[in-house]
Amino acid sequence: MAIIVRTKTDSVAASAVDEARSALLLDVDPADVGEHLGSQAEGERVVTHLFACERKGYVGWRWSVTVARASRQKQVTVDEVVLIPGDDAIVAPEWVPYRERLQPGDMSPGDLLPVDDDDARLVPTYSFGDDPLDADDKAQVREVAKDLGLGRVRTLSLEGREMAAQRWYDGDGGPESALAQAAPDTCHGCGFLVRLAGPLSEMFGVCANGDANDDGRAVALTHGCGAHSEVRLAKKHEPQPMPEHVFDTLSSDGYEIV
Contacts (Cβ under 8 Å, ≥6 apart) of 2 = none
Q: Tell me the window of 53-61, 124-132, 136-144, 206-214 that interacts with ligand SF4 (CB under 6 A).
A: 206-214
The residue among 49 and 223 lying less far from ligand SF4, judged by its C-beta, is: 223
The number of residues that bind ligand SF4 (CB under 6 A) is: 14
Q: How near is the Cβ of 54 to ligand SF4 at its closest, in Å?
A: 58
- How far apart are the two ends of the chain, measured CA to CA in Å? 115
Q: How near is the Cβ of 200 to ligand SF4 at its closest, in Å?
A: 15
Let me know: does 186 contact 173? Beta carbons within 8 Å. no
DSSP 126: S
Let me know: does 115 contact 138? Beta carbons within 8 Å. no
Per CB under 6 A, 65 contacts ligand SF4: no
Helix (H, G, I), strand (E, B) or coil at 145: helix
Burial level of 207, CB count in 10 A (0-12/13-18/19+)? buried
Q: How near is the Cβ of 222 to ligand SF4 at its closest, in Å?
A: 10
* H helices, E strands: number in the chain: 6, 9
Q: How far apart are alpha carbons 22 and 67 in whole angstroms?
A: 12
Q: How far apart are alpha carbons 230 and 235 in whole angstroms?
A: 15
The residue among 191 and 243 lying less far from ligand SF4, judged by its C-beta, is: 191
The residue among 118 and 202 lying less far from ligand SF4, judged by its C-beta, is: 202
Per CB under 6 A, 223 contacts ligand SF4: yes
Per CB under 6 A, 187 contacts ligand SF4: yes
Residue from 65, 190, 204, 218 touching ligand SF4 (CB under 6 A): that is 190
Per CB under 6 A, 219 contacts ligand SF4: yes
Per CB under 6 A, 174 contacts ligand SF4: no
Residues of this chain that bind ligand SF4 (CB under 6 A):
187, 190, 192-193, 207, 209, 212, 214, 219, 223-225, 227-228
